Structure 1
Amino acid sequence: MAATASPGPSSGGTAPGSCAEPGCSGTIVDGYCDVCGHPAAQPAAAAAPAAAPASSKCGEPGCSGTIVDGYCDLHGHPAATGSSSGRSAPSSSVPFSSTGGTYSGSTRSGSTSGRTGSARSSGRRGMLGAGLVEVPRVPYRDPSTAVLTDPQVAEHKRFCSNSDCGEEVGRSREGRPGRTEGFCPKCRTRFSFTPKLSPGEVIGGQYEVLGCIAHGGLGWIYLARDRNVNGRWVVLKGLLDSGDAEALAAAEAERAFLAEVEHPNIVKIYNFVRHGDAGYIVMEYVGGQTLKDILLRHRQDTAAESLPVGQAIAYGLEVLQAFGYLHAQGLVYCDFKPDNVIQSEEQLRLIDLGGVRRLDDPDGAIYGTVGYQAPEIGDDGPSVTSDLYTVGRALAVLSFPFKGYTRAYEHSLPPRAEVPVLALHESFDRLLRRATHERPAERFQDAAEMAEQLTGVLREVLAAEDGVPRPAPSGLFGPERAVPGTDVAKLADGEGVLPPVLPAEAAAALPIPLVDGGDPAAGFLAGLTALDPARLAAAVASAPEQTPEVRLALARVRIELGAFAEAGELLDKVEEDRPGDWRIDWYRALALLAGGRPADAAAGFDRLYSRLPGEAAPKLALACCLERSAPEEAARLYELVWRTDRTYIGAAFGLARVRLAAGDRAAVTAVLDSVPEVSIRYVSAQVAALATAVRDRPPAELTPAELERAGSRLDGLGLEGERHDRLVAEILEAALDWVEHGTGAAVGTGVARPQGTGVLLGAPLSEVPLRRRLEQTYRSLARLTTDREDRRWLIDCANAVRPRTLL
């Protein structure tokens, strides 16, 4: 149940008389019985008019189109109906409940919204989900079909509107149906669940009522036609109680806020009219389905309990755009939940702005819903961070079966291990936990920040689902600076397949946080990026002004030079000017890693991962820290980064190192082969894959096919000179070892040595040809080297491998 603002005292409306309730001797005073509290009898509402049937030909002047499913197939205008003489804009499906019932689960509702135009789909992908994910369309439908034939509020949805009470009202007792009007038995607040407008009534001399379409916390919502604007469909949103002063004030506040709002993701208000003692907001109507109804329909149509994570995130990104706009206007939405946003075709609209209030209004009524509302609302009031809290809660409800979100987990999330979706997508889990943190200071601080991280998480989720990378430049970090551990060819025998990476090397290779463009020294710092650390330190130290960005840059350079104490002092000064700047924590963790303390650094990078769940850099840094102490966890993080964005080559080599340490050479080759050909590290990756196939392997593990593939891989790289010849020698050495020892055969045993049938680097895969080819390679390397000792050693190798002859 949603908490709503407390209603004020009811006011009168009928003359005194006897109570019409059977068995009651009370008298009607100010419209209500002074004994049982039942209101005076009121006339019943008439039934809604039926929609006129569609004609076969379009009635628009000069149009030759045909009416298909109620709309012209040329220009999209709807067929004329008997309820209006003017032309109406088409709409989408039923705005609140696709089943035609009462508004499902909402305690406060607003109008429907969307765009007008052709009912036919364009076939293009919409903007939902930043163009990354396909969201099923909600098709258009004749809005007159949204009118309820028997408008009633189900008994289980009848609650006292007093936010301090919330008692069940209007419930059945002793076989008698519950009252639709009366007084709360606990706090005596009046309630009414009967429509106040009848079909055919004209409101404000302009809006012809067709009937009720939904019920929300502030009363019934009606569909009407605007007689003054070509019969345009509109929504009239009334009050829960026409005598409720506070509810009336809330409606007037909604009108005032909406009049200022102009955003494609927010429903538009046209007018505000009074009818009798009640007020009605006139709002845009282009129907659709609420996200709650979309979720319920998804459950009915599939075996899934929740929406796909990508679809839920797509909705969240649209909502955050609307919230960003509202917050920039000094407004907070307060009561966001899946009930209060509608999808129509490919567009999302926020509805029900009755809870919107100004950030600088400490005395305004506070609206919210249990399970979505931030815990500090009662004491501190709404804020930007409490709005973002509701988005996080809604994302959770949409993306996994969130049992107990209004009770046991009212202000928390279930453990990650208990929710398969969260266990599968750790970054999404961390984003939800930051968005819904119990302390506002730990949450996202603005909608743009949350949207940026949510977009990064969406890229990860989609890449995990289909294996297709979704790269994108970061708005917070620069690119990877280096890829340590790629110079495979320089390793000598027995030194391993892939070079080990020292903590200082890993720290120096990580991306650098971007400079704040608003800092006075931003331009000065931008011109120094190509300098080596020593020269950069001197240049930054001589900056005309020691701004926070200058100090951060100087701290980074001090870390690279090993002056960790000086770096710490600089970071302390920056923190005095910019408390809470996440880059301070980044450089402190970086200093720990560069100083050879990866375990301590891991804790800092892990916190940054939770703060920036959509960024690759914290995951990459954390993986570097865990590579030796927790290799499987490091592999998971490396793979997450690499699968999402193939520009982080360090993640590929890191994953290769971890897999090699586990003895999985096939996995090493697979990840190295996935380095794109356009990458500057492609050749290094191919050389590493070649080395993985032949280096430091027992001869019995090798096969002729593997050797031949290694030779073909080398031929395809187009290398020349000493680098090429050293790799040739390495492959030939492995092949010769296989020939001599591959099956346990040895000289003098009389057992035949294995012989291959293929050709390796121009030589048949048998002993004598391999020896001759290897001898030539050693002598070629001896001629190329400038080192005397190396030349002597290579000549000795050539002599040793030369085939024996009779002469």
Structure 2
Amino acid sequence: MTTSCVRPGCAGRIMGTGYCDTCGHRHIEPRGTPAAPPPVVVEESPGPPTVHAVAGVGELDQHGLVVLPEVPEPDDVLLVEDPRPPTEGRRCGTDGCGMLIGVGYGGQPARATGRCPRCGTPYSFLPQLARGDLVAGHYRVLGCLARGGLGWIHLAEDTRADGHRVVLKSQIGAGGALARRTAVEERRSLTDLHHPDIVRIITYADHRPPGGTSTGYLVMDYIGGRSLQQLFDADDIERVFHGRPRLDHVLSYGCKILGALEYMHERGLLYCDMKPANVIHFGRAVKVIDLGAVRAIGDRASAYVYTATFAPPKAEIDRRGWHVDSDLYTVGMTLQALARDTEPARGLAHDSFRRLVDRATHPEPRARFRSAAEMSRQLWEVLREFRSLQFGEQLPESSTRFRATGASLDAGLGAIPALDHWTARTGERPAELDVSPPSPAEVAGALPEPVPDPADGAALVLDTFSPDAPDQVARQWPRDSRLGTPETALWLCRAYLRGGDRDAAADWLTEAETQLGERAAAHDWRIAWHRGVLHLGKGEVEPAGARFEAVYRALPGEYVPKLALGHCAEHGARTARAMRFYEAVWKRDSAHTAAAFGLARGHLAGGDRDAAVRVLDEVPATSRHHDAARVAAVRIRAGVIGGLPPTPADLADAARRLPELRLDGGAEDGESRARLVAEV
């Protein structure tokens, strides 16, 4: 319900900020019978309150982001004493005029006022407000804070609110059509934005100086703090962060920025000018400021305002305009700039971060993230990967892209040896313990399956199909319009692959590519994933690894591509690379025992039994593979590995562990225990 302004003679309406959109005055409810208090609603607590930790300790807030260091409001606000024109000038913008104005020629300084040499429209780069001016009767100007992309930004105080500081954003040039149009758009779209990480637009005010023309100003909250550019360029940055900033600080900034942009995108707006200078860190929070470049999604008429060093190439903008993925490109460039001087990250985390930035800033728009929410999820997962590797934190969470799997991929290491382990022996010496990895085909059959895209028309019905009857679904394909989708084709690919029919699986994967279209399929991680599984099933490890690498580039925070890449590296005898992938998975979530067995094999390849056993001992008692890990530890202690027999200490440890194993259904004696005792 719209509330009308009660000020005499004003026909305006009260905005969500509580101010009138016409006269700019704060709305006060008329006196009368007080309204009944709203009913008390008991809600579940959203979680523990935010912990305000000392920067550098590394606590997380209730949203799973790093608690940022305290950045106090500066005692003195630095105002611009000598406002000058921008050194690079700007485009005229009058009725489509693109002439550059406000630049010097022949070594002469640029003029602050003048006329466009092409269309003759007058312009002025001078601030139109002076110290002490009153705007809307109660905003007293204190001076110029900075020059924005479209106008001077002034600091003022609200004389009706005990000197509450606000920012007045004016427009350059009294006659600039571009500036006027932009101001109107800002007024319409920005005053109703209410997000904790976006600066609040309080109201809109007009001001007419004596003998001059009326100019409009957006009135915004003043945020006292430092921009991320100022903070990361400051000499005291290590004092603020109690050391060098870490990658998880940058990732937390990114999640907050993306949350603000997602809010704007949902309301049909594009930010267009993300960069470190446009995010203020104050206290332990951040605010996205300077909304002067905001435009409506799909707007191809108004001029673009952006910073070239953070934006997609100009040729791309000229060709296709500005889109959601263009905003995400600027976020990627912002994160890259912030991460430049961070503390070195351990393990795979920096590689994952680099791939995230690479996807956000990919030259091909189709390869970029599709939404701020999608990019934020990957950012959040890379943050967890970083913290697990840097601090040893277990931060498990369910994948949004892959289903869970119960496969341990231990290649029989965690199983009790069969009788032929002894009967097939040809000599007196004990047989070498087989610590080879599972076969590529076994890995292909055990890797988790992708979760169907919920936007696909058949996503809801796929789980109702029997995975063992793909022929029935294939026969329905041409008759049921609901099934003619990429996800159905991918489901059939997996079903036929599970049944051993690789040719049919390949045919349905080709059909999925056709459904998506050639150009889209080339950048769809689902296609790369299924191609990788097909290659792996045929023992083609190298091409499989190339496909899984493409999935890693698209989903840098996901567990599953790293697990697949670990197996490919292990089969390619690249043990160190395999262990980096396995470590990134295992350190983050001990539910992925396939990574634990992979790490154990890697340690054994380096001759380190102790390290292999330590990893297997980390498998929790709640895991279905707990017993298999304990059996594997005993076999590693007692086995001949790499031609080397166990030491007396190894055998003593194996003997100590034997009574602790739960074998033969918990019985004290049984066939399984007897065989394992015989091996020791």
**Shift of residue 300, structure 1, vs aligned partner:** 4.6
In 1, Cα distance between the equivalents of 2:604 and 2:398?
30
> Cα gap change, 1:179/1:399 in structure 2, threshold over 3 Å: closer, same or farther?
same
**Shift of residue 231, structure 1, vs aligned partner:** 5.0
The aligned residue for residue 136 of structure 1 is: 69
> Cα gap change, 1:138/1:184 in structure 2, threshold over 3 Å: closer, same or farther?
farther
Question: 309, 319, 341: which is aligned to 1:371?
Answer: 309
In 1, Cα distance between the equivalents of 2:167 and 2:457?
51
Q: Deviations over 1:156-202 (max 9, x none)?
A: x633223878799589989xxx7883569999998866543233321
Question: 189, 198, 214: which is aligned to 1:257?
Answer: 189
Q: Deviations over 1:365-420 (max 9, x none)?
A: 10111210101123322111111100000000000159xxxxxxxxxxxxxxxx98
Q: Does structure 1 retain, via aligned residues, the 8 Å contact 2:83–2:144?
A: no
In 2, Cα distance between the equivalents of 1:186 and 1:401?
44
1:445 and 2:394 are equivalent in the alignment: no
In 1, Cα distance between the equivalents of 2:506 and 2:280?
50
Q: Which amino acid aligns with 1:457?
A: V
Question: 449, 467, 473: which is aligned to 1:512?
Answer: 449
SS of the aligned residue for 1:469 comes to coil
In 1, Cα distance between the equivalents of 2:204 and 2:250?
34
The aligned residue for residue 334 of structure 2 is: 394
**Shift of residue 302, structure 1, vs aligned partner:** 5.6
Q: Which amino acid aligns with 2:651?
A: L
- RMSD (CA atoms): 3.5
The aligned residue for residue 149 of structure 2 is: 217
**Shift of residue 140, structure 1, vs aligned partner:** 4.8
Per mean C-alpha deviation after superposition, the further-off stretch among 651-660 and 515-524 is 515-524
Question: 614, 619, 622: which is aligned to 2:565?
Answer: 622
SS of the aligned residue for 2:220 comes to strand
Gaps of 5+ in 1: 1-85, 87-120, 403-418, 732-807
**Shift of residue 513, structure 1, vs aligned partner:** 0.5
Q: Deviations over 1:41-86 (max 9, x none)?
A: xxxxxxxxxxxxxxxxxxxxxxxxxxxxxxxxxxxxxxxxxxxxx9
In 2, Cα distance between the equivalents of 1:264 and 1:250?
24
1:574 and 2:574 are equivalent in the alignment: no
The aligned residue for residue 408 of structure 2 is: 483
Q: Does structure 1 retain, via aligned residues, the 8 Å contact 2:405–2:446?
A: yes
Q: Does structure 1 retain, via aligned residues, the 8 Å contact 2:70–2:282?
A: yes
In 2, Cα distance between the equivalents of 1:604 and 1:218?
46
1:455 and 2:380 are equivalent in the alignment: yes
> Cα gap change, 1:122/1:703 in structure 2, threshold over 3 Å: closer, same or farther?
closer
SS of the aligned residue for 1:369 comes to coil
The aligned residue for residue 730 of structure 1 is: 679
**Shift of residue 566, structure 1, vs aligned partner:** 0.7
Q: Does structure 2 retain, via aligned residues, the 8 Å contact 1:212–1:220?
A: yes
The aligned residue for residue 159 of structure 1 is: 88
The aligned residue for residue 380 of structure 1 is: 320
Aligned length: 585
> Cα gap change, 1:132/1:705 in structure 2, threshold over 3 Å: closer, same or farther?
farther
Q: Does structure 2 retain, via aligned residues, the 8 Å contact 1:393–1:436?
A: yes
Q: Does structure 1 retain, via aligned residues, the 8 Å contact 2:168–2:220?
A: yes
In 2, Cα distance between the equivalents of 1:387 and 1:698?
54
**Shift of residue 560, structure 1, vs aligned partner:** 1.6
Q: Which amino acid aligns with 1:393?
A: M
Tell me the TM-score normalized by structure 1.
0.66
Alignment of 1:557-572 (within 5 A): 557-572=495-510
The aligned residue for residue 536 of structure 2 is: 593
**Shift of residue 687, structure 1, vs aligned partner:** 1.2
Alignment of 1:63-462 (within 5 A): 124=52, 130-140=63-73, 145-146=76-77, 148=79, 151-153=81-83, 158-162=87-91, 181-182=112-113, 195-228=127-160, 232-276=164-208, 277=213, 278-297=215-234, 300-301=237-238, 307-375=245-313, 376-401=316-341, 425-462=350-387
Q: Does structure 2 retain, via aligned residues, the 8 Å contact 1:660–1:668?
A: yes
**Shift of residue 440, structure 1, vs aligned partner:** 0.9
In 2, Cα distance between the equivalents of 1:129 and 1:622?
33
In 2, Cα distance between the equivalents of 1:499 and 1:173?
73
In 1, Cα distance between the equivalents of 2:644 and 2:105?
81
> Cα gap change, 1:698/1:398 in structure 2, threshold over 3 Å: closer, same or farther?
closer
In 2, Cα distance between the equivalents of 1:658 and 1:127?
33
> Cα gap change, 1:604/1:397 in structure 2, threshold over 3 Å: closer, same or farther?
same
Q: Which amino acid aligns with 2:364?
A: R
Q: Does structure 2 retain, via aligned residues, the 8 Å contact 1:497–1:696?
A: no
Question: 627, 641, 644: which is aligned to 2:588?
Answer: 644
The aligned residue for residue 802 of structure 1 is: none
**Shift of residue 597, structure 1, vs aligned partner:** 1.4
Q: Does structure 1 retain, via aligned residues, the 8 Å contact 2:496–2:502?
A: yes
SS of the aligned residue for 2:494 comes to helix
Q: Does structure 1 retain, via aligned residues, the 8 Å contact 2:541–2:571?
A: no
> Cα gap change, 1:423/1:648 in structure 2, threshold over 3 Å: closer, same or farther?
closer
> Cα gap change, 1:684/1:154 in structure 2, threshold over 3 Å: closer, same or farther?
farther
The aligned residue for residue 502 of structure 1 is: 439
**Shift of residue 151, structure 1, vs aligned partner:** 2.2
SS of the aligned residue for 2:132 comes to coil
In 2, Cα distance between the equivalents of 1:268 and 1:699?
70
In 2, Cα distance between the equivalents of 1:335 and 1:245?
21
Q: Which amino acid aligns with 2:229?
A: K
Q: Which amino acid aligns with 1:296?
A: D
Q: Does structure 1 retain, via aligned residues, the 8 Å contact 2:146–2:154?
A: yes
Q: Deviations over 1:681-718 (max 9, x none)?
A: 11111111111111015998544332222222222224
Q: Deviations over 1:207-264 (max 9, x none)?
A: 2223333333333322223345565432111223334332333233222221343322
In 2, Cα distance between the equivalents of 1:366 and 1:596?
51
Q: Does structure 2 retain, via aligned residues, the 8 Å contact 1:128–1:318?
A: no
> Cα gap change, 1:618/1:326 in structure 2, threshold over 3 Å: closer, same or farther?
same
Q: Does structure 2 retain, via aligned residues, the 8 Å contact 1:160–1:184?
A: no
The aligned residue for residue 604 of structure 1 is: 547
Question: 619, 629, 653: which is aligned to 1:685?
Answer: 629
**Shift of residue 352, structure 1, vs aligned partner:** 1.1
In 1, Cα distance between the equivalents of 2:677 and 2:347?
48
Q: Which amino acid aligns with 1:585?
A: A
> Cα gap change, 1:167/1:654 in structure 2, threshold over 3 Å: closer, same or farther?
farther
Q: Does structure 2 retain, via aligned residues, the 8 Å contact 1:562–1:595?
A: no
> Cα gap change, 1:525/1:459 in structure 2, threshold over 3 Å: closer, same or farther?
same
SS of the aligned residue for 1:727 comes to helix
The aligned residue for residue 705 of structure 1 is: 649
In 2, Cα distance between the equivalents of 1:201 and 1:613?
53
Tell me the TM-score normalized by structure 2.
0.78
Identity %: 37
Gaps of 5+ in 2: 1-25, 27-48, 54-58, 93-97, 422-429
Per mean C-alpha deviation after superposition, the further-off stretch among 281-290 and 220-229 is 220-229
In 2, Cα distance between the equivalents of 1:655 and 1:422?
14
In 1, Cα distance between the equivalents of 2:450 and 2:617?
30
In 1, Cα distance between the equivalents of 2:331 and 2:455?
29
Q: Which amino acid aligns with 1:181?
A: A
Per mean C-alpha deviation after superposition, the further-off stretch among 717-726 and 610-619 is 717-726
In 1, Cα distance between the equivalents of 2:538 and 2:292?
56
> Cα gap change, 1:697/1:314 in structure 2, threshold over 3 Å: closer, same or farther?
closer
SS of the aligned residue for 1:236 comes to strand
